Amino acid sequence: MITPVIMAGGSGTRLWPLSRAGHPKQFLALHGEKTMLQQTAERLSDLPTSEPITICNEEHRFFVAEQLRQIDALGKIILEPVGRNTAPAIALAALLEKEDDPLLLVLAADHVVADQDAFTEAVMDALPLAEAGNLVTFGIVPSEPHTGYGYIEAGDALQGAYSVASFKEKPDLATAAEYLGHGGYYWNSGMFLFKASRYLQELKTHRPDIAAACDAAVGTLSPDLDFIRVDTEAFTACPDESIDYAVMEKTRDAVVVPMDAGWNDIGSWSSLWEISDKDESDNATFGDVLLHRTTNSFVRTDEQLVAVIGLDDVVVVSTKDAVLVAHRNLVQDAKTIASRIKEEGRTESELHREVYRPWGKYDSVDHGERYQVKRITVKPGAKLSVQMHHHRAEHWVVVSGTARVINGDETFLLSENESTFIPVGVVHALENPGKTPLEIIEVQSGSYLGEDDIVRLEDRYGRAGDK
């Protein structure tokens, strides 16, 4: 039996402005109707697997739980107190499953695989190799001399696989072309298959400091709703290292299984253009887009009409609060722009105008010096925390659905077109007791309107801080 381990960390800033630190690419529907995390989980449907283990950080835990629950693939969710790269993260999963010692199939949550049958076949080919104690990595059959991926050099032939002769860093174009001409080189996919015990043995041999820190971190596990928390102090002390550097480049038992499954790590908008359906002018468009004399371009808009005239090789991405326009060969620099935005103290690198919460979402539709207007959507049966504010008052108007409101000492129901006013300092809460989404308009007014002006008194989701 295989236990999938889905790595759902990372910020994906190369896909700014759609992917942001607070809502990164693995939780977005970039290629298809389902999110990349959901597609990764569903990719396992033809394999003999147990429930998955998903590893993510604290900030994204409700994304993971909600999206996996929607496709009935919740499984176990391990929360990393801090990011420490892939070697420690995989160690947490291996230690959690240490007693049963299953095969761990390690996958990133933000990859695209076009050919699921070829993916399944490669994993099944790798099973006997992993059962025999090898640490299997999957090498993608290269289609071009790509400079954005590391490479794996194949060694001696095995049963449908090869020993690993060496791992190569991302090459320049001439070296990548040389690899393709020579043959026997594969893109490093970051997917792995091995027994939990074998990984822990190799980690203890080559990086005993990481092994010891992770062992201490799982010594005190704290279940929390759908999540498993490890010891914060112990895991924070763990070194930051990738599985490649910590184990795969050092072990004598690394094996590469070739995979030709239409794999792409969606590392940039250019990568997404490559795998998208295109028109007769090689344009890929999503949303309300009009093109005129435009070729070889990627244009996506979430809301407003975007028109592009007379351009070639461009990427245009429009969200509710930001627009990116870039040459298609320079889209990697979106990461630089996201960093500059963060350095300037702006919010556009961290959050979208529309922000998701475990109870639903809110959209900040307007704001001024002493006011802010939000459209709040509460899922059926969900409830915002019982809270109060020191600096702002709020006025709620129900647009659709039914609201159960706590306003000071009163608890009452509001229906469409009804409203309530919550003065500064008054304890309040909002709940949707119905079976359809609740939509309200919230008008905030006061001297300070930041999300950190919340005193949370009670919360069914175990949160602290923001709404």
**What pLDDT does 137 receive?**
98
**What pLDDT does 364 receive?**
94
Half-sphere exposure of 213 (CA within 13 A, CB side): 21
Tell me which residue has tokens 């924070």.
236
Burial state string for 270-301 with b = 16 or more CB within 10 A and e = fewer than 16: bbbbbeeeeeeeebbbbeebebeebbebbbbb
pLDDT per residue as tens digits for the range 85-120: 999 999 999 999 999 999 999 999 999 999 999 999
CA dist., res. 330 & res. 338, Å (int): 14
Residues 6+ apart with CB under 8 A from 376: 360, 361, 362, 430, 438, 439, 440, 441, 442
Looking at the domain 2-264, which fold is it? Spore Coat Polysaccharide Biosynthesis Protein SpsA; Chain A (3.90.550)
| Strand 151-157 versus strand 162-168 pairing type | antiparallel
**What pLDDT does 129 receive?**
97
CB atoms within 10 A of CB 132: 14
**What pLDDT does 226 receive?**
85
**What pLDDT does 467 receive?**
44
**What pLDDT does 157 receive?**
93
**What pLDDT does 183 receive?**
92
**What pLDDT does 463 receive?**
81
Here the tokens at position 334 are 């979106």
Q: Give the residue extent of every domain in the chain.
A: 2-264, 269-340, 354-458
Ranges under pLDDT 70 in the chain: 465-467
**What pLDDT does 462 receive?**
84
- Cα separation values, 217 from 232, 236, 428, Å: 7, 9, 38
Burial state string for 322-360 with b = 16 or more CB within 10 A and e = fewer than 16: bebebebeebeebbebbeebbeeeeebbbbbbbbbbbbb
Looking at the domain 354-458, which fold is it? Jelly Rolls (2.60.120)
Tell me which residue has tokens 């026997």.
184
Here the tokens at position 191 are 């997917």
In this prediction the pTM is 0.91
**What pLDDT does 224 receive?**
81
Asked if residues 251 and 202 have their Cβ atoms less than 8 Å apart, the reply is yes
The secondary structure of residue 213, as a DSSP letter, is H
Region of 101 please: left (phi>0), alpha (psi -120 to 50) or beta: left
**Among 149, 170, 177, which residue's Cα sits nearest to residue 265?**
149
Half-sphere exposure of 392 (CA within 13 A, CB side): 20
